[in-house]
Amino acid sequence: MKFSPTPIAATLAALVFSTSVTAQSAATAPRDRSAFNVDMDISLILEGIYYNQVSKGNDEPAGFGGGHDHGHDHGHGDHGFDEGFNMGHSELAFQARLGDFMDGTLVIGFDDSDFEVEEAFLTTRSLPAGLQVKAGKFLSDIGYINSQHRHSWDFVDRPLVNEYLFGDHGLQEKGVQVNWLAPTATFTRLGIELLQGETSGIANYEGGASDLGGTSRILSDASGPRLITGFAKVAPDLGASHAAQFGASYGYARTYQVTDEHSTRFEDWDGDAWFAGVDAVYKYDAGRSYGHGDWRLAGEYFYREIDVDRRDVNFAADSNGPVGFVRNEQSFKNKQDGIYLQAVYGIAPRWETGFRAEALGMQNRLGRGSGESLDTSYRYGAQLTFRPIEPVFLRAQLNRTDFAEEGHGRDRGLEFMLQLNVALGAHGAHTF
């Protein structure tokens, strides 16, 4: 659903005004001490990005074309930014606490033409035995960066492995999460998520997706949950100046469906998929002012397998056959992976710099057609960040892309980004 900037501004203003009036009314009304008290924080995060493609390379790494979707019209490069000024991704967040019973979170993301509910969930606060339940729409806790919002990142863009395996917004789904905090001296958190999962792009043709010109298609909707994930996070006690967290994640999609519309046919995939990954983070606090001398190191690796049946069916008559003609039927597996390593260092008070190295498709085996192994794609990024005050940062980033082509060639590009991010209002503490 798309809106012009004027309705967006009016909607946001109405939300803030309505919440403000409600809070004032609650403050002046007689207190019922037997009722739960609700405390609410509201924050607005505004982002602007200047983008310049200094030299053009491949927009998509080999084997991953069409693997991610920004949901909007793409601009230049693999980010979907237009050349020049972009509004970027802004957020309006509401966080409320209902006594010691539960928390509620609503995050609305928007740019200059679209907005969507990114997260809307409830989290329990008082379950016994270290248990906690989250329910609604939320970012999955797999890996490290997936559960973070853009203003928490150390770089302007999301790592390639997270974007191309899980989408531009990461793994973000409706469902239920149950996690358990172990009663041990070492922080140990285990969790499982039952997620709705999407059936990607099930296109309709007259009577529906299952029938085309009298020929049955292989796509069919399935009830959720379609995706199950599990994760474990362990953080040993390293003293006051050092902190580390290690994690492992797994996910299984019992219904993995994709359809692409070509010039005269639908290409349908239907099957299942699974992924597994590990992540690690280390932080060092130098004890100096405004982050001077601090270190942050992080890395993640994910592997994915997709096992599907494929069927190509004509939706328009052509030289190959009439409507409903089946061009191709086969079964195959795709095996792909990716990794990134990054380091950020506080070079002076309020100033930090970082470097990130990425590889996508070290294992890049596509089973479709006759089957082929494609080359690995790489990207290297360097950033410089200045924080004049804590809620504001200005970040310059230079990326060198070295993406493999489908025909086993390579194409290199250079891109520059300048990001301004401002947080207004009360905002919850960032996760580790």
**Residue-wise DSSP of 287-352:** --GGGTT-EEEEEEEEEEEEEEEEEEEESS-BTTBSTT-EEEEEEEEEEEEEEEEEEEEEEETTEE
Q: Which of the given ranges, 187-201, 309-323, 352-366, has the highest pLDDT on average?
A: 352-366
Q: Is the pLDDT of residue 129 over 70?
A: yes
The CA-based angle 389-86-411, given to 5 degrees, is 110
Instruction: Please count the other Cβ atoms lying within 10 Å of the Cβ belonging to residue 100.
Output: 8
Is residue 316 a part of any domain in this protein? yes
Domain membership flag for residue 366: yes
Phi, psi of 10 (to 5 degrees): -65, -40
Q: What percent of the chain has pLDDT over 90?
A: 66
pLDDT at 260: 85
The number of domains in the chain is: 1
Rounded Cα gap, residues 404 and 337, in angstroms: 14
Instruction: Report the distance separating Cα 415 and Cα 398, nearest Å.
Output: 6
- The band of 204, judged by pLDDT with boundaries at 50, 70 and 90, is low
Tokens 């049955």 map to which residue? 216
In a domain, 401, yes or no: yes
Residue found under tokens 């979707």? 69
pLDDT at 370: 67
Per the domain annotation, does 298 fall within a domain? yes
pTM above 0.85, yes or no: yes
Q: How confident is the model at residue 261 (pLDDT cuts 50, 70, 90)?
A: confident
Cα(259)–Cα(358) distance, rounded to whole angstroms? 29
Which pLDDT belongs to residue 205?
57
The whole-number pLDDT of residue 79 equals: 67
Tokens in use for 272? 């299942």
Q: Which domain holds residue 419?
A: 39-88+129-425
- Comparing 205-219, 247-261, 285-299, 328-342, which segment has the lowest mean pLDDT? 205-219
Q: Quick check: is 135 in a domain?
A: yes
- Whether residue 338 is contained in a domain is answered as yes
Has residue 33 been placed in a domain?
A: no
Query: What CA–CA distance (Å, rounded) separates 431 from 279?
Result: 15
The H or E element containing residue 21 is: helix 5-28
Average pLDDT score, the chain:
86
CATH number for 243: 2.40.160
Residue 98 placed within a domain: no
